[in-house]
Amino acid sequence: MKYYVGIDLGGTNIVAGVVDEQYNILAKASTKTNCPRPDREIARDMAKMAIQAVENAKLTMEQIEWIGIGTPGIANSRDGIIEYSNNLGFVNTPMVKYIQEDIDKPVFVENDANAAAYGEFVAGAAKGANNAVCITLGTGVGGGIIIDGKIYAGSNFAGAEIGHTVISVDGPQCTCGRKGCFEVFSSATGLIRMTKESMAKNPDSSMHKLVAERSGKVSARIAFDAMRMGDAAAKAVVDDYIKYLAAGITNTINTFQPDILCIGGGVCNEGDALLLPVKDLVAKEVYTRNSKQNAQIVIAKLGNDAGIIGAAFLGNAQ
């Protein structure tokens, strides 16, 4: 049996996991990222978590084939450098070099959304595909593209920024500097914004009652839950959200024509209430709607483990 370490580096947490060749996570270790602080300190903690995870799995580092890292930002997988990550404050961070100073193993680095997509490709919802796209609906909209079994990152390692394709020119401001991005409408953040806007216009909506019952916090679940209670304003929010999400997915399918397009993130916990109307809209709008073979749209299976599993197998993705 072969064993690998995958590290999911986030703005909040560092999580390392030991994964076997059958894609099972045997043990994990985690710590707070504690940004902002020097990149070398963060790298040292990443190495510590890798070592701790291996100990928790009752293995030795000699039994580990390699270490893979999924990181936010532009990860130059060829040179082992994180060229830029605004969430972490990294600029040209030599991450592979840092980790290898602490652990004498091959080390690979990749963008976190790409790593998560690769995880779904090898062990999750996109398993068996040759070409796949994975879209994550979280704080933003992350994208990962697999072409002929390999991660597509573009000539400058910044590819797959699907969230920053524009759905509505001159729409709401996006943090990237453009307006009307897919991310503005289809992230969990976008759904929360649309929910708040609707609540302000509809003081009698049951969305207010749900928010009050949940410590005053507007979450991405509020509109869906209120819709299920028969609230017309909430239904309008959900319908708009699904409309924009389907538009972005249709654009992506028209561009890449994958075998499978999987969507992940907390919003996907809505299941068929989200998936079925999205599939209906995409089927009507996609350019290849008359084709005998179109992309399957599915919900991601691996959840937060996708990044760890994908990172652990980056040695096969190069």
Rounded CA gap, 106 and 19, in Å? 16
Question: Does domain 3-121+305-316 fall into CATH 3.20.20.80?
Answer: no
pLDDT interval class at 317 (50, 70, 90): confident
- What does the pLDDT read at residue 39? 96
CB distance 27 to 57 below 8 Å: yes
As given in the structure block, the two tokens for residue 60 are: 């030795």
Cβ contacts of residue 280 below 8 Å, gap of 6+? none
Domain 128-299 fold is: Nucleotidyltransferase; domain 5 (3.30.420)
What was the pLDDT predicted at 217?
Answer: 93
Please give the radius of gyration of the chain, using alpha carbons only, rounded to the nearest integer: 20
**Over 90: is that where the pLDDT of 290 sits?**
no
Question: What is the pLDDT confidence band of residue 129, given thresholds at 50, 70 and 90?
Answer: very high
For the ranges 126-140, 169-183, 234-248, 259-273, the maximum mean pLDDT occurs at: 234-248
- Position 297 scores a pLDDT of 97
pTM value is 0.90
Residue carrying the six token digits 């079994």: 149
Q: Could you check whether the bond before residue 258 is cis, i.e. omega within 30 degrees of 0?
A: no
Quote the percentage of the chain above a pLDDT of 70.
100
By three-state DSSP, how is residue 221 classified?
coil
Q: 43-71, pLDDT tens digit by residue? A: 999 999 999 999 999 999 999 999 999 99
pLDDT at 31: 97
pLDDT digits (tens, 9 = 90+) for 130-161: 999 999 998 889 899 999 999 999 999 998 99
Q: What is the pLDDT of residue 86?
A: 82
The mean of the pLDDT values for the chain is: 95
In the chain, count H helices and then E strands.
10, 13
- Average pLDDT of 18-40? 96
200 CB-contact burial (10 Å; exposed 0-12 / middle 13-18 / buried 19+): exposed
First to last CA, the chain: 22
Q: How confident is the model at residue 292 (pLDDT cuts 50, 70, 90)?
A: confident
Domains 3-121+305-316 and 128-299 belong to one CATH topology: yes
Does residue 11 register a pLDDT over 90? Answer: no
Residue 318 has pLDDT above 80, yes or no: no
Q: Give the residue-averaged pLDDT of 85-101.
A: 94
How is residue 187 annotated by DSSP? S
Q: Are 295 and 45 in contact (CB under 8 A)?
A: no
What integer is the mean pLDDT of 172-183? 93
Which pLDDT band, with edges at 50, 70 and 90, does 201 fall under?
Answer: very high
Higher pLDDT, 139 or 247: 247
Q: Where are the domains of the chain?
A: 3-121+305-316, 128-299
Length of the chain as a residue count: 318
Task: Say whether 111 sits in a helix, a strand or coil.
Answer: strand
Structure token digits, residue 40: 């070398």
Whole-number pLDDT of residue 261: 97
Gap between the Cα atoms of 251 and 240, Å rounded: 17
- pLDDT of residue 293 exceeding 90, the answer is no
Judge whether 193 and 242 are in contact, CB under 8 Å.
no
35 CB contacts (<8 Å, ≥6 apart)?
Answer: 11, 42, 87, 88, 89
pLDDT of 116 reads 94
| Cα–Cα distance measured from residue 205 to residue 199, given in angstroms and rounded to the nearest whole number | 7
Lowest mean per-residue pLDDT among 54-63, 154-163, 219-228, 306-315 = 154-163
